[in-house]
Amino acid sequence: MIMNGHDADENKGFGTGCFEVARPSPMPVRGGGTDDPAAHRNHSQESVMKTGITVLTSICMLILAGCVGIESRQPLHTVASVDLARYAGTWYEIARLPMWFQRRCIDSKAIYTIRPDGTIGVHNECVTDAGGLDQVDGIATIVDTKTNAKLAVTFDNFFARLIGPARDGNYWILDLDPDYQTALVGTPDRRYLWMLSRSPQLDEATYQRMVGKAQQLGFPVSGLIRAKRSSST
């Protein structure tokens, strides 16, 4: 943030990847003239059979799609360790997923400072599409002290004070360059994502690498909004 299937027995069933769905037994079809009531019954049964298979196939496709969706939502992992003293300083937002509080921001940056009590001071700045400058201050607390990669950020406003910090944190460091020059930060529900850099500009190769990493983590990267700042910044 800008701290803001398996193979089934042929006679038993077929797998969907989640569970077995029974295979319907084929119904015999007898011959007969068009005026034979038995033939009409058999024809009707055959039609019902075909319809049933079609419906069953559709259901299986939906189930399979659901299973794929579940498998793609694996637990989100952070980086193994963060040196918060090195992480402190200024970070420029390169891209983000849509967020209501940043809906008018075209150029954002964050400044992090280590406070004496071990929390992190957060100062966000945002240049709006109207040319104005919005600023907000907050406090980040460490949620996972083993890694320092999960933090909970609370800003100084009425709603934040009312709700309090997120128990699991809302600022997860998901990818971090060894030299602390780029970072991917997101929320555990994969709803929000920020791509950060120490430099206002980021080369395209690095940007695409970070987009690929975010996609591997399950974020909807097609919705990324890139910052709009002049190359002279």
Residue 50: pLDDT band (50, 70, 90) is low
In sequence order, the β-bridge partners of residue 175 are: 184
Look over the chain and give the mean of its residue pLDDT values, rounded to a whole number. Answer: 77
DSSP-derived letter for residue 223 is G
Residue 166, pLDDT > 90, answer no
Residues 118 and 169 in one domain: yes
Range of the domain at 68: 13-72
Residues 110 and 143 in one domain: yes
Residue 73, pLDDT > 90, answer no
77 located within any domain? no
Q: What is the mean pLDDT of residues 188-209?
A: 97
Residues 89 and 152 in one domain: yes
6 located within any domain? no
231 located within any domain? no
Residue 55, pLDDT > 80, answer no
Residue 204, pLDDT > 90, answer yes
- Is residue 173 a contact partner of residue 185, using CB atoms and an 8 Å limit? yes
8 located within any domain? no
Residues 171 and 222 in one domain: yes
Indicate the number of domains in the chain: 2
Residues 18 and 62 in one domain: yes
Give the Cα separation of 188 and 186 in Å (integer).
7
> Where are the strands (E) in 9-118, listed by range?
13-15, 20-22, 89-96, 105-114
Q: What is the mean pLDDT of residues 17-39?
A: 42
Residue 32, pLDDT > 60, answer no
In this structure, which amino acid lies at residue 231?
S
Residues 23 and 95 in one domain: no
Residues 132 and 49 in one domain: no
pLDDT at res. 169: 74
Q: What is this structure's pTM?
A: 0.68
Give the Cα separation of 131 and 224 in Å (integer).
22
Residue 145: pLDDT band (50, 70, 90) is very high
Residues 102 and 128 in one domain: yes
